[in-house]
């Protein structure tokens, strides 16, 4: 080795040793910014729990400092203090509200990890404290009700039913993943949502390590709760029995930052709210239903027994069967068998009404039996609307499934064959009066429902001369609409007694043996009905409708005036079809009309209360009689 090389090697050794001792000296000196404190998590969501971060530190000599909060990239998101004097080794405290500024335009920063940055202008440097970070959390935790069922029972896809057969409670199994778990029962229907019972939560599993917090004020610190249960016996907070309706169990927890989250999620009023798809998150649904009955939406053949499925919660029930339009009870009895079969004792087409009483409640449901012989007129009742408006939770999320929601909402998916807990909406006012009139006038007919026609079961349109649509057929499938138009164009006649129907589309999925298919994707109201006739809505009539034109004898037997109808849905446009009979008010609103469509006729009353006037208004009854004659030709 040359002398120069030996000299250079020696210098390197001296420099290395010097650097080592200098580094050790610096390590043993106090840090410029010392003893940084502050909660690792906070939640600036305005709920009064850990909304602000209080951060403090000491400096090793007195000087002015600028205090900032920076994000993961080192970018400043908020300046907490500018050239603030701090005293040597005295704790300086600063507060951050989680926002990026102080003015009205300031917003809460994104959730994430932030650090303290201290600028020391006297020293010409700044220090980002890496030894401690602070997490902003505003996104709520997502606890969930996994299922509700009687203890030991196999959970089903639908809601739990109360009362249970043994009178016991149902148990909600909960996924928690947080602290301070609470649960409550909320009644979601009928009426506005309201909390009816607070439930204690039993934690069944916790984390075994990690952060420990208290679940209740003054309680011990616990690891995060993972799973739990909550039981409900069907009673309200005051000890009384919960009334029939749809309920949901809502579970809530707080995360490590104190953010409250619930499943189902909390809406603006703090009560359970659906997700964007229209469903409640979780399976927390409970239906309180002392008695329910399911009937077949298609008619039975004459001579066959009517079959009903009765859910009386395992208790004995009383039943009575009546034929609509015939006085007295046709048959009655008591049973505990959930399958009820009864004879119609008639070879005529008819609508029946079954009454079941159990557990202090009563429910009425319709059923149909066909004529023993094929008849020229087919009466169609609106079973799609009956189920579409039946407030029942199908999927167990705690919301009723009805067709009145949005087209893409999952809450607007309705099983076509469901239990009824009350007589269908519109049955007493729009359907029963029509069948009573037919019975009084000894009319023979076959009968079915729009649901059965759409599903391809029961009597068909083919071979008929006329179709009578009784009640409001609020929704109609595309296939059934096509079939009705083809029937009329081919020479048949259709009478629609309620003018508001046939204006909303719905889809019927392929039927299964269990549910009869699913009704979904309900469309909005449109002015044009399935026959291309346009009516834009109700108007107040200026005087009673009077005959203006009658080329087919539609108004034969009436006196030409229809008193007592203040409101109507006038015919605004026929799409080029010819009106062959009509009655108008003094403002020429076309109220009652017969329209030639192809080789057949469509008769519309335009009067929403037409059916309810059949029993006490002679002109209404005569118009019904002449309509029946037209349908029978």
Q: What is the mean pLDDT of residues 508-524?
A: 80
Q: Name the pTM for this structure.
A: 0.87
Please report the pLDDT score of residue 27 as a whole number.
Answer: 40
Residue 631 CA, distance from chain mean position = 40
Position 114 pLDDT exceeds 80 = yes
* Each residue's pLDDT tens digit, 182-195: 999 999 999 999 99
Q: What is the mean pLDDT of residues 141-146?
A: 97
* Each residue's pLDDT tens digit, 379-420: 999 999 999 999 999 999 999 999 998 777 888 899 999 999
Q: What is the mean pLDDT of residues 5-21?
A: 51
Cα 203 to Cα 224: distance, rounded to the nearest angstrom: 10
Cα 611 to Cα 330: distance, rounded to the nearest angstrom: 25
For residue 568, what are the β-bridge partners? Answer: 539
* Each residue's pLDDT tens digit, 22-44: 344 434 445 789 999 999 999 99
pLDDT band for position 516 (cuts 50, 70, 90)? confident
Q: Are strands 466-469 and 493-496 parallel, antiparallel or unpaired?
A: parallel
Position 271 pLDDT exceeds 60 = yes
Please report the pLDDT score of residue 29 as a whole number.
Answer: 42
Cα 563 to Cα 473: distance, rounded to the nearest angstrom: 25
Give domain 33-136's CATH architecture. Sandwich (2.60)
Q: Where are the domains of the chain?
A: 33-136, 144-265+280-288, 289-373, 374-632
Please report the pLDDT score of residue 93 as a whole number.
Answer: 97
DSSP line for 111-159: SEEEEEEEEETTTTEEEE--S--EEE--SPP--EEEEEE-TTSPP-SS-
- Across 167-264, where does the E strand assignment appear? 170-189, 194-199, 202-206, 212-214, 221-223, 225-232, 245-254, 260-263
Widest distance between CA atoms in the chain: 137
* Each residue's pLDDT tens digit, 115-135: 999 999 988 899 999 999 999
Residues in contact with 33: Cβ distance below 8 Å, sequence separation at least 6, in sequence order: 57, 58, 59, 116, 118, 127, 129
* Each residue's pLDDT tens digit, 221-255: 899 999 999 999 999 999 999 999 999 999 999 99
Please report the pLDDT score of residue 511 as a whole number.
Answer: 60
Do residues 530 and 502 make contact, with C-beta atoms less than 8 angstroms apart? yes
Please report the pLDDT score of residue 322 as a whole number.
Answer: 96
* Each residue's pLDDT tens digit, 286-321: 999 999 999 999 999 888 999 999 999 999 999 999
Cα 633 to Cα 617: distance, rounded to the nearest angstrom: 25
CATH 3.40.50.880 fits 374-632, yes or no: yes
For residue 590, what are the β-bridge partners? Answer: 571, 584
Please report the pLDDT score of residue 24 as a whole number.
Answer: 41
Q: Establish whether domains 289-373 and 374-632 are of one fold.
A: no
Cα 86 to Cα 82: distance, rounded to the nearest angstrom: 11
Give domain 144-265+280-288's CATH architecture. Sandwich (2.60)
Q: What is the mean pLDDT of the chain?
A: 92
* Half-sphere exposure in the Cβ direction for 484 (13 Å, CA): 25
Among residues of the chain, what percentage have pLDDT more than 90? Answer: 84
Smallest Cα–Cα separation from 358: which of 319, 322, 308? 319
* Each residue's pLDDT tens digit, 422-448: 999 999 999 999 999 999 999 999 999
Cα 326 to Cα 582: distance, rounded to the nearest angstrom: 34
Give domain 289-373's CATH architecture. Sandwich (2.60)
pLDDT band for position 4 (cuts 50, 70, 90)? low
């Amino acid at each position: 080795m040359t002398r120069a090389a030996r000299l250079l090697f020696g210098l390197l050794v001296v420099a290395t040793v010097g650097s080592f001792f200098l580094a050790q000296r610096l390590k043993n000196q106090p840090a410029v910014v010392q003893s940084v404190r502050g909660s690792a998590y906070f939640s600036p969501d305005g709920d009064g729990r850990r909304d602000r971060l209080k951060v403090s530190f000491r400096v090793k000599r007195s000087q002015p400092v600028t205090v900032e909060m920076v994000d993961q990239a080192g970018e400043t998101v908020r300046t907490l203090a500018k050239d603030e004097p701090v005293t040597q080794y005295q704790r300086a405290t600063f507060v951050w509200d989680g926002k990026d500024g102080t003015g009205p335009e300031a917003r809460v920063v994104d959730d994430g990890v932030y650090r303290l940055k201290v600028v020391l202008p006297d020293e010409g440097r700044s220090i980002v404290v890496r030894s401690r970070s602070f997490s902003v959390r505003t996104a709520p935790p997502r606890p969930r009700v996994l299922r509700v069922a009687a203890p030991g029972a196999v959970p089903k896809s639908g809601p739990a039913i109360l009362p249970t057969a043994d009178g016991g409670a149902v148990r909600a199994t909960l996924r928690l993943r947080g602290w301070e778990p609470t649960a409550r029962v909320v009644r979601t229907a009928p009426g506005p949502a309201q909390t009816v019972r607070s439930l204690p939560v039993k934690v069944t599993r916790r984390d075994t390590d990690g952060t420990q917090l208290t679940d209740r004020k003054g309680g011990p610190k616990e690891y995060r709760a993972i799973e739990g249960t909550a039981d409900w016996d069907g009673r309200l907070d005051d000890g009384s029995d919960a009334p029939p309706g749809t309920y949901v169990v809502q579970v809530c927890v707080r995360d490590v930052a104190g953010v409250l989250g619930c499943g189902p999620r909390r809406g603006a009023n703090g009560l359970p709210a659906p997700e964007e798809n229209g469903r409640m998150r979780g399976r927390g649904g409970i239906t309180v239903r002392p008695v329910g009955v399911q009937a077949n939406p298609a008619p039975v053949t004459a001579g066959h027994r009517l079959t009903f499925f009765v859910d009386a919660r395992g208790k004995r029930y009383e039943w009575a069967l009546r034929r609509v339009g015939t006085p007295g009870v046709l048959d009655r009895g008591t049973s505990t068998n959930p399958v009820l079969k009864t004879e119609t004792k008639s070879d005529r087409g008819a609508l029946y009404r079954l009454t079941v009483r159990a557990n202090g409640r009563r429910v009425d449901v319709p059923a149909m039996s066909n004529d023993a012989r094929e008849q020229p007129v087919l009466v169609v009742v609106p079973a799609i609307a009956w189920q579409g408006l039946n407030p029942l939770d199908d999927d167990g999320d705690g919301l009723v499934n009805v067709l009145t929601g949005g087209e893409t909402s999952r809450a607007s998916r309705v099983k076509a064959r469901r239990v009824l807990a009350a007589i269908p909406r519109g049955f007493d006012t729009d359907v029963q009066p029509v069948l009573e009139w037919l019975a009084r006038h000894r009319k023979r007919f076959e009968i079915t429902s729009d649901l059965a026609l759409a599903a391809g079961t029961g009597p068909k349109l083919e071979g008929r001369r006329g179709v009578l649509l009784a009640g409001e057929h609020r929704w109609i499938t595309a296939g059934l609409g096509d079939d009705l138009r083809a029937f009329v164009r081919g020479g048949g006649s259709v009478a629609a007694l309620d003018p508001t129907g046939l204006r909303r589309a719905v889809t019927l999925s392929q039927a299964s043996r269990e549910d009869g298919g699913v009704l979904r994707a309900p469309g909005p109201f449109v002015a044009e009905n399935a026959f291309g006739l346009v009516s834009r809505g109700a108007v107040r009539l200026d005087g009673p409708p009077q005959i203006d034109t009658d080329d087919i004898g539609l108004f034969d037997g009436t006196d030409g005036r229809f008193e007592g109808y203040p409101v109507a849905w006038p015919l605004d446009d026929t799409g080029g079809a010819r009106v062959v009979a009509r009655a108008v008010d003094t403002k020429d609103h076309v109220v009652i009309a017969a329209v030639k469509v192809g080789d057949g006729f469509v008769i519309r009353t335009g009067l929403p209360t037409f059916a309810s006037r059949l029993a006490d208004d002679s002109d209404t009854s005569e118009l019904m009689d002449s309509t029946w004659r037209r349908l029978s030709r």
